[in-house]
Amino acid sequence: MSQDRLKAFKGALLQAFKTKRSQSVAVAELLGLVNKDPTPAQGEGFQEGEVEQLLGRMQDDNQVMVSEGVVFLI
């Protein structure tokens, strides 16, 4: 996973939280939100497996928490 891809995902994730006006969002809904308005850095958008990997990495870095299919912003 490249740093550029992670950075693009973080930006899309923060935008998704702003759109929802919430500190949590379901993983199933998140995929649609991060791919809604792709930026050039996102390229073709994020695939489900890639989102899971990126969330796992962010969880390891204590930036988000994923529990029972819901992502919480820390």
Which amino acid is it at 59? Q
Domains of the chain (ranges; CATH) run: 3-73 (1.10.10.10)
SS3 65: strand
Tokens 């759109």, residue located: 19
pLDDT for 60 = 96
**Three-state SS string across 2-47, please?**
CHHHHHHHHHHHHHHHHHHCCCEEEHHHHHHHHCCCCCHHHCCCCC
State pLDDT tens for residues 12-57. 999 999 999 999 999 999 999 998 877 666 677 899 999 999 999 9
State pLDDT tens for residues 47-62. 999 999 999 999 999 9
